[in-house]
Structures are given as C-alpha cells and as structure tokens.
Structure 1
Amino acid sequence: MSKHKADKPSQGPIDVAAIRAAAKKFVDDGAVASGYKGNREEIIQMLNEALATELVCVMRYKRHYFTATGLNNEPIKAEFLEHAQQEAEHADRIAERIVQLNGEPDFNPKNLAQRSHAEYDDSGDIKSMIRANLIAERIAIESYRQMIERIGDTDPTTRQMLVEIMAVEEEHADDMGDLLDI
C-alpha cells in the first residue's frame, strides 16, 4: 500500500443516485448545485460591487484614452484603450457569474459610483491619468484579494474567476507603474 492511500481515509464511491435526485429536485436553481457551500447573497453583493468597480474603470480608461493628447502619448493612449477593453471583459465575466448564482447584475448607473471601490477620474494631464489608473488598479487588486479570502473554498468557480481577474489587474498596475517612470 502506498503512503498516499494510507493518508486518505476511504469515503466510498460517489453517490450518483443522490446527485441525480438532487439535480432533478432543485432544477430551478440552475447552475447552483445542491452541494454549493457559498453564501450566495454575500457573494452576489461582492460581485455586484466588483461589477461596479470594473464599469467605473472602463469609463475612466475610456475618458483617458479619448482625452490624452500629444504625439508622444499615442502608446499610452493605446494602453488605456487595451485596459478599458479588458476591464469590460471582466465586467462581463462577473455579470455572467452573478446570473449563474441566480442573482441579478446591477448595471444601474444611478448608484454605480457609490458601489464601485475605485473612483472615476477626470484628470487633464497624462501623468495624473496614469497615477489615477495605478491607484484604481491597486484598489481593485486589494478588493479582489479580500473577496478571494472571504470566499475561501466555499465557491471554487467564483474564486478561480476572481483570481484570474486579479492577475490581469496586477498586470495593469505593473503597466501603469512602468508608464509613471517615463
């Protein structure tokens, strides 16, 4: 007998009949399986805050893209546009996950800024724009880190999505940090 088998107690075979019965009984729960351990309401609330944050970031990056001027700033503008597109992809993934959890993504513009962890910025000079974006990325990274920590192992799908989004936010922060050095 190998050491690994001795370390894990046998739990027996998976109860396929019980899995099938639960899937049929709770079919209206959609993607939320009967063994789901997360606090759906809390996770949906956190995801709606993340959605608001991503949408505010899209608007900030788009504003910076369209208002940054100067021939030397074309590569920076391109970076702003790329980040805006990636933030929009994050928002889409988050909204999709909210729906999978039987929640409703909140796109209401009336209170978007209040739910967002990051702030909108209307800076006029390129250095201030870059700095505002770096600050917003740092806020997003820490927000995602705390969400991931809070979710723990209770919702592996949401956790994995947030880890992937956070990795892109870290790349964005690195990009903005590099641009500040120009």
Structure 2
Amino acid sequence: MADPHPQPLGDDTGDDLAVRLTLLNAALATKVVCVRRYTRHALRANGPHHQAVKAAFGQHAREEQDHALRLAERIQQLGGRPDFNLGGLMPRGDTHDDEGRTLVELLRENLEAERLAIATYRDLIPYFAEHDPTTQRLLEELLTEEEAHASALHALLEP
C-alpha cells in the first residue's frame, strides 16, 4: 500500500516532477500488462500439474494488480494522473497468442517478464533515492515482491 502520508515535494522543479511521473506511469503500464498476461495464462493453464501453475498465475495477477494500484496512488499523490490507456500498453509485450503453448513456455515467459521488472526497479531506485525517498521505498517494496514472484516461478520450472 502506498504511503498514506507522502513526503512533501519540497524544492522539486517541474521538470524533475514530470520525469518522475513519466517513469512511474511507465512502471504502471508494465504492471497493467502483467495483470493481463498472468490472468490470460491462468485461464490457459492446462496439462500435468496445471493446478499449481494456474494458482500461481492467479496469485501473481492479484499481486500485480496491487502493484498497479500502489503506483497509481503514488502518481496521484505527486499530483499526476495515472495513465491506464490500453492503446499505449499493448506494444509492451501483451500480444502473444497463448493457444497451444505449454505450461513451461508460459512459465518461462512470465519469469522473463519478472526479471525485466526486477531490472527496471533496480534502475529506478537510485534515481528516486536522490529525488523522492517515499517513491524509492515503494519501489524497493515492489522489487522485493517481484523477486519473490521470480523465485516462485523458477521453483515451478525445476523438475
């Protein structure tokens, strides 16, 4: 959950705030795509051991939804407007046809997406550490949760 008492913006310049809002809206976009992908994969999961994978995908979809909400709340706290426009989101990796794909393929795709999210948060945290400690803490929390998602998916891939 986003900090209910965010730190004031302080001496922010308009340019710095605009950069932060752009970065946070980009992170939000990836979360919306993740919710869609995990939900789609949960519905498509079949074959041996599909119940465990389906449950993991469903849980991850709900957690990604929470991440999106937390990011959107932070954007609003900073005076911005969360961007949920799907037109701009589709190029971000939500166009795969899942028909006929194996559980292993779906797991690998989601694991790769988690690794990209982890790398993104690791890149963003130092920037926000200098400009916005409240958002830095939020991103660190999300990073920890993404690392847990990646570990869970990796465990499902192991024989």
> Which stretch shifts more, 158-167 or 64-73?
64-73
CA contact (8 A) 1:32 1:101 kept: no
Q: CA deviation at 1:152?
A: 2.0
How many residues are treated as equivalent by the alignment? 149
Q: 2:116 aligns with which of 134, 139, 163?
A: 139
Distance 2:108 2:58 in 1: 16
Structure-1 residue corresponding to 2:3: none
Structure-2 residue corresponding to 1:50: 27
TM-score by length of 2: 0.87
Structure-1 residue corresponding to 2:134: 157
Q: 2:85 aligns with which of 105, 108, 129?
A: 108
Q: Write out per-residue CA displacement over residues 112-149 of structure 1, whole angstroms, 9 at most, x where no aligned residue.
A: 134x4xx2244321000000000000000000111112
Larger Rg: 1
Distance 1:158 1:176 in 2: 27
| SS of residue paired to 2:81 | coil
Q: CA deviation at 1:33?
A: 2.5
CA contact (8 A) 1:63 1:122 kept: no
Structure-2 residue corresponding to 1:127: 104
| SS of residue paired to 2:49 | helix
% identical aligned pairs: 41
**5+ residue gaps, structure 1:** 1-30
CA contact (8 A) 2:47 2:103 kept: no
TM-score by length of 1: 0.77
Q: CA deviation at 1:37?
A: 4.3
Aligned residue identity for 2:76: V
Distance 2:142 2:102 in 1: 28
> Which stretch shifts more, 160-169 or 119-128?
119-128
